[in-house]
Structures are given as C-alpha cells and as structure tokens.
Amino acid sequence: MKLTGWKIEGNLPESRKMIVIAAPHTSNWDFLYLLAAAYSFRMSINWLGKDSLFPPVISPILKYLGGIPVDRSKRNNMVQFIADIINDSDQFTMIIPPSGTRSKTDYWKSGFYRMTLATQIPIVCGYLDFKDKVACLGLSFVPTGDVPQDMDRIRDFYRGRVGRRPENTSRIRLREEDANQD
C-alpha cells in the first residue's frame, strides 16, 4: 500500500471474530486494494463472491485468499451459514460490502447486520478512500438491535469517504429502516 502512496489508519480490533464492512464498494479495483490492506493489517480474511467468479482454473487460488462462492440464483440462507461458521470458529473475519454490488443502490443488504446480531460479534467499519488514498479500520461495535440507531453510527463513520467511482456510491440505508416507519 505504501508503495502506491496509500496510508493505513486505525487498528485491528481485539475481537478474534468480526464482520468488516467494506464501503464504499464502487470498482473492481476495490478487491485488489482490499487484499493489500488486509495484508497490511495482518488480517486473515474471508469474503463472499458470486460463484461465477470461481471458475475451476482459479477457484483454488480465490478460496486460498478467503473466498467463499455463493450461488445467487437460489435462496441459501447465507446469514445462518456464515453464523454457523463464526460460531464454530476460534477466529473468523468476514469482509462484506453491504451494497452487494459495484453499482449504486438505494439500500444496503442487511446480511452483515443480521450475522452480527446472531453471533454477537462486532461490526467493524472499514473503508478504502480513493480520494485521500487511505485504507482504514475504524468504528467497531456490537449491534444493539436498534437498527436506526446502529445505522446512524455507521452513516456518521462513512460520511465523506470516496470510492474509486464516486458516482456508484450506494446510499447507506437498510430496507428495515423504512419498514419500521410504517
């Protein structure tokens, strides 16, 4: 990271299990910088990717790098699957870009939140700010179950962070927040 002019900020939390939010996720370059940042933080990471990213030729390499293929064409209760892995592990770090895509979305997917509630492990907010060339691990907390309050903390943390393609930055909001207003 230093060779390309990036700075590393923050610290790896003391918890041996965590879900790290990776936002904003706006470009394919995020993955390469994520791997470099994880190495800089001395983190062993896991991440989810659509199964089409795991062709037989490179699948072993991607799995070695922490990749877990997901068949997005069917419902597979991924939250419970990952919660079970977390509960059965002594140490586990899952990196999740909650937008679920590099394109702009109106809502984040709530899987990261439901996984941390189910396992009572911390959400760690991480970012790659391409404007300032900073990779950071910052805010860390175990969610309370009060979705709007917890999401306000997350929104405050990410305010002003710029992805590689700012026009693709998703709104930081869960559908549950709007559902609770009815």
Give the type of residue at 106: D
pLDDT at 77: 84
pLDDT at 135: 94
pLDDT at 181: 63
C-alpha 110/C-alpha 79 separation (Å) is 9
pLDDT at 180: 62
pLDDT at 54: 95
Structure tokens at 64: 């070695």
Number of structural domains (the chain) is 1
CA dihedral 35, 62, 18, 170 (to 10 degrees): 70
Q: State the chain's mean pLDDT as an integer.
A: 90
- Which tens digit of pLDDT belongs to each residue from 132-142? 999 999 999 99
Domain that holds residue 154: 2-179
pLDDT at 26: 83
Average pLDDT over residues 8-29: 91
Which pTM does this prediction carry?
0.90
Q: Which residues contact 49 (CB under 8 A, 6 or more apart)?
A: 62, 67, 68, 69, 70
Residue 27 contacts residue 170 (beta carbons within 8 Å):
no
- Which tens digit of pLDDT belongs to each residue from 59-102? 999 999 999 998 877 777 888 988 999 999 999 999 999 887 88
- Which tens digit of pLDDT belongs to each residue from 125-177? 999 999 999 999 999 999 999 999 999 999 999 998 988 998 888 889 999 89
pLDDT at 161: 92
Q: What is the distance in angstroms between the CA of the first residue and the CA of the last residue of the chain?
A: 46
Structure tokens at 85: 């892995």
CB contact burial 18-48 (16+ within 10 A = b; e otherwise): bbbbbbbbbbeebbebbebbbeebebebbbb
